[in-house]
Chain A
Amino acid sequence: MTVVSFYYLFFLAIGVLIYYAVPKKVQWIILLLLSLIFYVSAATPYTIVFLIASTIIAYTSTIYIYRHKDAEIYAKTVSIVAIVSVLINILMWFLLKGSAFWILGSILINKVIPGVPVLRALPVVSALGMGYYTAQIIGYILDVLWGNADAQKNPIKLFLFLCFFPQLTVGPVSRYNDLLVLYDYHKFSYQNICIGAQRILWGFFKKLVISDRVAIIVNSIWNDTTTYGGVWPWIAVFLYPLEIYTDFSGCMDVVLGTSELFDIHLSENFRNPFFSRNSQEFWQRWHITLGSWARDYVYYPVMKSRWMVNFGKKCKKKYGKRWGKFIPWSLSMAILWFVMGVWHGSVHHIFGVSLWFWLALVISELFEPITKKITCVLRIKTESFGWHFYQSGRTYAVYALGAVFFTSSSLQIALAHYRVLGSSLSQLNPWTLFDGTVLNLGVSWKDINLIIFGCVCLILADYLRERYDYARIWVRNQSFGFRWLIWIGIFLVVLIYGMYGPEYNSSTFIYQGF
């Protein structure tokens, strides 16, 4: 069962009915049961032992930490307990999701010491949401250690924090304090059902009307670059951000809408990333919960460590104030991006995606004083629409080019794609955009029109989001007739023009694998 499927909606309807019908003190148990049913139907069932193990380790360690963290004689033991339980969680993740690393490791060792056997990957299993809940549990252990959260005294409640079903597919990476509402009493409210259902519908629209259509074009081009040369690989590159954005944020809409039905409001993962003026801002608007997790639990501790502070001082002494700040920052960012690459579970993610985006951030920071000077000398109105448009376009291009690594299954394939992009520049054929070539890519004019229509709706919704915080707040303030016209319109478009697979299920989500 995926979150964009007929079964899921049926499952939700029954779940919501039971949730509000039972006594309020057992509502969290209903959430737990629903989560278990969802897990068993969406993942390889036995992998739930990893979730249970994660819970037991976190539960025992945090209870110990919580009881002893204020006593000075236990200070060292408490830190050791925290580090060990974080490491065990990471190791479990490595076992199931990090096979690329230990296989590579064993190959390298085998080259040095020939007798050592090369390891093979375990049989493919779906440990749904493992990347997300491992990040959550690490955050929880550190929050208890740092005094930002109280230890949960009921292990089954802690288990619910990890396995709450809406966030198992693609996150968000929630903080424990933000999810204490899971255990509260929740009253039925028509408004929650409305906003939840609307958000799910909007997510379906993004995924089924836009993303799955764009995916056909992008995949067809990359699958046959000899036929589709010239401008076409570039079209694929610049369409991919649209595909992944509507896929990932569409799924997030379904996830957030689902939890709103249960009166639980999860953290937002996207805030109009393509309105960003530079890469730094982009990463504060894209996959926000993972970014802020990495900032709080990786970047801050690294920057605050004695080693980094001393290193910063040395750099300042030797190279002056600016470089004294820049060098430790870029080093800490490299560590952050390395962790992000590892979390995505592949070697090419570290040496492709992470390296690319780290370089983009470093270069943009490096040239900031120069660009500031140039805009000042040329008297460019930096707040004008034109300048903002140029900056957002540039940020989009940096993301689109880096995402080639993301779409490719290995470093070699990514480099081959870049070679195709380079060589196609000498044989540009823009006239093929209008001669019907596009119809050989597996889409019809109807599909192209629907993509354009979807994009117009998307830009409008994102603009309203930027202006009114949520597009739906703007819709809510419209007259009754217009309001319903909008929602019924979206519903009909999804129903008639959604790209459905067998039994009204969508294809899987790009970020579901993590």
Chain B
Amino acid sequence: MMSREAVYERLNGVFREVFDDDTIVVNDSTTADDIEDWDSFEHINLIVAIEEEFGFKIPMGKTVTMKNVGEMVDIILQMGE
């Protein structure tokens, strides 16, 4: 099973790729308000990129409801089990 730190390492890479910004570092409390281009339309590109990176589908319900990166990591860990 992946550790939370390992998930964050890969997740930072996904965020940097999607938002074209190599300085992004995300943590549990990061929300869409903290990253300039992360709006509700860009959100889906992020989800698709995460699915690609981790190799599984994130359910539609979770796509709509996740509130911050912490929840995102919880979902990734849960799906990766």
Write the residues of chain A forming the contact surface with B, with a CB cutoff of 8 angstroms: 142-143, 146-148, 280, 284, 292, 295-296, 299-301, 303-304, 309, 312, 325, 329
Q: Which of B45, B59, B63 contacts A325 (CB 8 A)?
A: B45
Q: Are A312 and B59 within 8 A (Cβ)? A: no
Minimum CB–CB distance from A289 to chain B (whole Å) comes to 13
Q: Which of A280, A304, A325 contacts B47 (CB 8 A)?
A: A304
Q: Are B44 and A146 within 8 A (Cβ)? A: no
With A304-B48, A309-B48 known as contacts, the answer to whether A148 contacts B41 (CB < 8 A) is no
Let me know if B29 is at the binding interface, CB within 8 A.
no
Q: Are B44 and A300 within 8 A (Cβ)? A: yes
CA A325 to CA B48, docked complex, whole Å: 11
Quick one: which of B39-64 are within 8 Å of A by CB?
39-41, 44-45, 47-48, 51-52, 59-61, 63-64
Closest to B60 in A: A146
Query: In the assembled complex, which residues on chain A have CB atoms less than 8 Å from the CB atom of B51?
Result: 309
CA A303 to CA B52, docked complex, whole Å: 13
Minimum CB–CB distance from A175 to chain B (whole Å) comes to 10
With A304-B47, A304-B48, A329-B41 known as contacts, the answer to whether A296 contacts B61 (CB < 8 A) is no
Minimum CB–CB distance from B53 to chain A (whole Å) comes to 13
Q: Are A312 and B48 within 8 A (Cβ)? A: yes
Q: Are A146 and B40 within 8 A (Cβ)? A: no
Q: Are B65 and A148 within 8 A (Cβ)? A: yes
Which of B40, B41, B51, B59: most chain A Cβ within 10 A? B41
Query: In the assembled complex, which residues on chain B have CB atoms less than 8 Å from the CB atom of A300?
Result: 44, 60, 63-64
Q: Are B60 and A301 within 8 A (Cβ)? A: yes
Query: In the assembled complex, which residues on chain B have CB atoms less than 8 Å from the CB atom of A303?
Result: 44-45, 48
Cβ-Cβ contact count across A and B, 8 Å cutoff: 40
CA A471 to CA B69, docked complex, whole Å: 33
A147-B59, A284-B40, A304-B47 provided; 19 other pairs, C-beta below 8 A? Answer: A142-B60, A148-B61, A148-B64, A280-B41, A284-B39, A300-B44, A300-B60, A300-B63, A300-B64, A303-B44, A303-B45, A304-B44, A304-B63, A309-B48, A309-B51, A312-B48, A325-B45, A329-B41, A329-B45
Q: Are B45 and A146 within 8 A (Cβ)? A: no
- Identify whether the interface residues of B are mostly helix, strand, loop, or mixed: helix
Q: Are A299 and B59 within 8 A (Cβ)? A: no
Query: In the assembled complex, which residues on chain A have CB atoms less than 8 Å from the CB atom of B52?
Result: 309
CA A257 to CA B48, docked complex, whole Å: 40
Closest to A292 in B: B40
Minimum CB–CB distance from A374 to chain B (whole Å) comes to 19
Minimum CB–CB distance from A68 to chain B (whole Å) comes to 16
Closest to A147 in B: B61
With A303-B48, A304-B47, A304-B48 known as contacts, the answer to whether A146 contacts B61 (CB < 8 A) is yes
Q: Which of A280, A284, A296, A329 contacts B64 (CB 8 A)?
A: A296
Query: In the assembled complex, which residues on chain A have CB atoms less than 8 Å from the CB atom of B39?
Result: 284
Query: In the assembled complex, which residues on chain A have CB atoms less than 8 Å from the CB atom of B65?
Result: 148
Q: Are B44 and A299 within 8 A (Cβ)? A: yes
Query: In the assembled complex, which residues on chain B have CB atoms less than 8 Å from the CB atom of A309?
Result: 48, 51-52
Chain B, 19-43, contact with A by CB distance < 8 Å: what is the 0/1 string?
0000000000000000000011100
Q: Which of B41, B47, B48, B61 contacts A299 (CB 8 A)?
A: B41
Minimum CB–CB distance from B13 to chain A (whole Å) comes to 15
Q: Are A146 and B59 within 8 A (Cβ)? A: yes
Query: In the assembled complex, which residues on chain B have CB atoms less than 8 Å from the CB atom of A142?
Result: 60
Query: In the assembled complex, which residues on chain B have CB atoms less than 8 Å from the CB atom of A325?
Result: 45
Q: List 6 A-B contacts (CB under 8 A).
A: A146-B59, A299-B44, A300-B60, A304-B60, A309-B51, A329-B45
